[in-house]
Amino acid sequence: MDAQHRLIDDGAVAVRGERIVGVGKRANIDKQFQAAHRLDRPEALLMPGLINTHTHAAMSLLRGIADDLHLQDWLEKYIFPAEAKNVTPDFVLWGTRLACLEMMLSGTTTFVDMYYFEDRVAQATKEAGMRGVLGETILKFKSPDSATPADALALTERFLREYRGDSLIVAAPAPHAIYTNDDATLRNARKLADKYGVPLVIHLSETKRENDDSIQTRGMTPTRLLDILGVLNGPTIAAHGVWLDDRDMQILKAHGTGIAHCPSSNMKLASGVAPVVKLLNLGITVGVGTDGPAGSNNDFDLMEEMNLAADLQKVSTGDPTVLNAEQAVAMATIAGARVAGLEKEIGSLESGKRADLIALRLDRPHAVPLYNVYSQIVYALKGSDVQDVVVNGRAIVRDGRSLTLDQTLVLSKAKEYAAKVVASLK
């Protein structure tokens, strides 16, 4: 995923501290470096760690609580009541630990999040040894962690200050969407992002209803509204973008806004099909995301999202040649890094970049034979083929097991929280 999209047979990656210091043929790397520690994976593929550009990690504790429902019923009858009664700092901490376990074991090294008590998300992410662009949610109404938008902005600023300069965490303001925020708060969130030099995270044109309501009440699309308010004047991670029109796309292109495409979620919630081929043709950066696991997915498997991103564009455009496997891999790695504002640090295996990489096993029946590496990754390999994961130079998964989080403890705690959630909804 460097500029030449080089594929290296019998290759090796040399890591010193937090960074990659050599990528090339194994024989050359062996000559050039003396390894203190060495991991041989002759039957695996080394590639950049996957980047999940849109999650609500802690919602792992609500995985599958309410499926096959209309979005409004789902939110109002299940998710909002469950969140109001259950989301505490500890809920978020344990939920994110569970999510990080699942993400690391399926090859994700960086995720872009949006939730409440995001400082606890940061805590769990650092414990896991993962990288995160972590968006503290800002709403115009009371949320689990803030009584007012002013409180949310103040909480967000404390969070941004705390994690300034962190090597793993980028703390970000995340105004939830245009329909859940007033204009002044949206503007203030942008100012906060600019003050700390971080991206702003927001949902954008996820559903037809969001667009229709915006046009009816504001006389313009959500993208035009954000443009007029100046919210797009700076790095922005916009999730979904299903209902963007041509003029919206021009606006997003002009501002360099990154799109987090979430095919599972858009399909499962029947939100629609994002115009990804059009966005890519315009040169807009598009990554892939899983969205949250409580009704819209229900997992954090980015290997599946890569496959779906390709297949959904093919069937919706009627053209099997669009969004090919190589593009899908790029979306989940280097393009995801661009969406997250981290393309100078991650997204490819190149000397000087942070050492975020994964090894995928090629020794299982579904991985054989191997005619084309990109095809295999996108259309055949699974999250469960992830053998090793390194983030920032640190091994966090070895042979399919987490080295950083205590899986037995996390699963047991997750079950405790689920029992509380069930009791709270009775």
Q: Least distance in Å: CB of 391 to a second copy? A: 17
Output 196 or 243, the one with its CB closest to a second copy. 243
Output 120 or 413, the one with its CB closest to a second copy. 413
**The residue to which tokens 């990489």 are assigned:** 357
Range in contact with a second copy (rule: CB under 8 A) among 147-155, 159-167, 215-223, 410-418: 410-418
* Total number of residues that touch a second copy (CB under 8 A): 71
Sheet strand arrangement including 286-288: 169-175, 131-138, 108-115, 50-55, 286-288, 258-261, 236-240, 200-204
Output 37 or 371, the one with its CB closest to a second copy. 371
Q: Least distance in Å: CB of 369 to a second copy? A: 3
Tell me the C-alpha distance between 143 and 346, whole Å.
33
CB 340, CB 258: distance < 8 Å: yes
CB 185, CB 138: distance < 8 Å: yes
Q: Least distance in Å: CB of 106 to a second copy? A: 8
Q: What is the DSSP annotation of 368-380?
A: -S-S-HHHHHHHT
Range in contact with a second copy (rule: CB under 8 A) among 34-42, 65-73, 171-179, 275-283: 65-73
- Which residue in the set 90, 162, 319, 406 belongs to the binding site for a second copy (CB under 8 A)? 319
Cis check for the bond before 369: say yes or no (omega within 30 of 0): yes
When asked if residue 199 is in the footprint of a second copy (CB under 8 A), the reply is no
Range in contact with a second copy (rule: CB under 8 A) among 13-21, 222-230, 307-315, 391-399: 307-315
Output 214 or 271, the one with its CB closest to a second copy. 271
Range in contact with a second copy (rule: CB under 8 A) among 11-19, 188-196, 340-348, 407-415: 407-415
Q: What is the torsional sign of CA 152, 158, 162, 166?
A: positive
When asked if residue 312 is in the footprint of a second copy (CB under 8 A), the reply is yes
Neighbours of 105 (CB within 10 A): 21
Q: Least distance in Å: CB of 259 to a second copy? A: 18
Give, as ranges, the residues between 371 and 390 that touch a second copy (CB under 8 A). 371-372, 375-376, 379-380, 382-384
When asked if residue 88 is in the footprint of a second copy (CB under 8 A), the reply is no
DSSP structure class, residue 128? H
Give, as ranges, the residues between 344 and 363 that touch a second copy (CB under 8 A). 363
Backbone angles phi and psi of 406, in degrees to 5: -90, 100
First to last CA, the chain: 50
